[in-house]
Amino acid sequence: MDFEFTEAEQAFSAEVDQWLVDHHDPVVMDLTRENFSQLCDTPERRAFMKKLAAKGWLGITWPEEYGGQAGEGVYEFILNEALARCAAPQIGKGVGIIGKTLIRHGSEKLKHEFLPKIINAEIEFAVGYSEPQAGSDAANMQLKAEKVDGGWKLNGQKIWTTSAHFADWYWFGARTDPDPSKKHAGISVFLLPMDAPGLEIQSMPTIGKDTTNQVFFTDVFVGDDYLVGEPGKGFQYISEALDLERFTMFTFSPIQARTELLCDYVRQAERDGKPLREDPVVRQQIAQLVTQTEVARVLGLRFVAASIKGGKPPTVEASTYKLFATQLSQRTADVALDIMGAEGQIKVDTEDAPLQGRFEGTYRCTVVETIGGGSSEIQKNIIARRGLGLPRNF
């Protein structure tokens, strides 16, 4: 398989890179936020996304009838990676997850109401799948949706909803059929404004220095018009959306940048008067990380190649990339702190910290990455069942 970009793709990459240089904003582009840099949680970040939308770069792969360019996924990949490289907000949940799912399964009303706002960067979403008893096991969600006149009444709780404290709308799954024999078939997906009566948001700080949230539903009403697709098909829609999340929300560029940053440090640093680059153990660790970084790059391109074929997102490729890439992020941070020693634990942005404490912050943030979008254990199960054909109980 040829993983080299065509001349047209290289030209687009160069155009995006130059645009980002011309629109560089240190307030928006904060490398120390790690994977949370993708969020549009400030007025400055929202303004940046409006500029990106004005370029026509949101919805590159969307059909033209919905304002897109009907382009190949590789262009969206190039754009998202360039944004991630400079810690700018990325195409995010609206374009990459919710928009694409609405195009495939949403009613005409939902498409008309939400797709123009998404592609023009006018709206931000929170995604609610996890619950206290249904973290990575989405099929076990228990948020109760009871049918009432004109819609549904919701009672229950969500957890780990990262964007709930600033989003405009909530995209979430709920149990519309309590029959225990319909564990997967009893879930539906809804859209709900974040200011809906009865919805309560409680913020939770994370180890990665940013914020996630608990969300409580108390007799919250959602109209029939805001049911996404067919009732009982929610688990299918969520699975497709998670395949997109596992790729679009865990970009490769920051992994590559961290590896290069660590290599530069090893080239220049000394320990006990001897260059670190001459230490055989350090050389072995660096060689392994550089090799594994290239593996992550190719796994990401394999997902892109599989996506170009059309249809729903490729599940096994998404899980393979997400598992390998997020665990590599952890390994890189771990190796960096080992090589730097005690000084590597000095907090990020501290003046006398090696590399401004970058890897101390990375070490904390990468723990969160291996959980979001489905934990590493879930990814292994998906690969085993769908990729290798192994039975559920193995």
Of the residues 124, 131, 245, 369, only one is catalytic, namely: 245
CA angle 264, 34, 92 (to 5 degrees): 130
- Number of neighbouring beta carbons within 10 Å of residue 39: 20
β 169-175/125-128 pair status:
parallel
Is 44 in the active site?
Answer: no
Residue type at position 139: A
Distances (CA, A) of 375 to 297, 323, 378: 20, 8, 5
Distances (CA, A) of 79 to 31, 46, 358, 362: 17, 17, 24, 23
Check residue 222 and report its DSSP letter. E
Listed as own residue / partner, the contacts of 148-151 with beta carbons closer than 8 Å and 24 or more positions apart are: 148/221, 150/223, 150/224, 151/221, 151/222, 151/223, 151/224, 151/226
Write the burial class of residue 306 (CB in 10 Å: 0-12 exposed, 13-18 middle, 19+ buried).
middle
* Residues noted as catalytic: 245
